[in-house]
Amino acid sequence: MKPIQPNYTNDLRKISKQITELASEIQEIKKLLGSGDENPNPAEMYPWHFPNVTTTADYFDGEPTTADEHNK
């Protein structure tokens, strides 16, 4: 005699419906909050693109830019 197999089809349909409802509510919340640009430019996502950040490539006029110029 085979064991009885539970039928999860109805439960899975309910879960699928709840996930769909949740996803639509999240989209509404994002619209209300004004989440901004959906596809930001990846080249502008790094911290060195912020206006208050400097890198080692930044230097002032008259400063030596290479190690050889420092040793003169």
- Band of the pLDDT at 8, cuts 50, 70, 90? very high
- Please state the pTM of the whole predicted model: 0.43
**pLDDT tens for residues 10-31?**
999 999 999 999 999 999 988 8
Considering the domain boundaries, does residue 48 fall inside one?
Answer: yes
Considering the domain boundaries, does residue 18 fall inside one?
Answer: yes
CB 64 within 8 A of CB 70: yes
Sign of CA dihedral 29, 34, 38, 41: negative
What pLDDT sits at residue 12?
95
How far the first Cα of the chain sits from its last, in Å, is 94
Q: How many CA atoms lie within 13 A of 31 on its CB side?
A: 6
Backbone angles phi, psi at 12, to 5 degrees: -65, -35
Considering the domain boundaries, does residue 1 fall inside one?
Answer: no
Q: The domain containing residue 56 runs over which residues?
A: 9-70
Q: Retrieve residue 52's tokens.
A: 């208050």
**Average pLDDT score, the chain:** 75
Count of domains forming the chain: 1
**Which has the higher per-residue pLDDT, 52 or 33?**
33
